[in-house]
């Protein structure tokens, strides 16, 4: 399991997520994670608009999904 920084600039302003750290096995899997937990369109774009950067290997026991997220509340 790896840790990835996912980010987006497709939606800007208030009530959107701009980035998150996620635990996933692959870059492709990380790209599919939505920090809001819902479908694309609620402050998070479709996977093709998501940038992914490998941060490193996760510690044993870290579950798959969002570790922390950045939300710009309005």
Alpha carbon distance 24, 40 (integer Å): 18
Q: How far is CA 36 from CA 21, 39, 56, 59, in A?
A: 13, 8, 23, 24
pTM: 0.91
CB 50 within 8 Å of CB 34: no
Provide the b/e sequence for 19-43 (b: ≥16 CB within 10 Å). bbbbbbeeeebbbebbbbeeebeeb
At 25-67, the pLDDT tens digits run: 999 999 999 998 866 656 899 999 999 999 999 999 999 999 9
């Amino acid at each position: 399991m790896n840790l990835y920084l996912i980010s987006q600039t497709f939606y800007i302003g208030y009530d959107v997520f701009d980035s998150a750290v996620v635990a996933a096995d692959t870059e492709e899997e990380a790209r599919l994670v939505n920090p809001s937990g819902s479908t694309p369109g609620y402050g998070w774009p479709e996977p093709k608009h998501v940038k992914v950067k490998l941060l490193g290997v996760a510690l044993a026991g870290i579950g798959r999904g969002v570790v922390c997220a950045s939300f710009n509340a309005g």
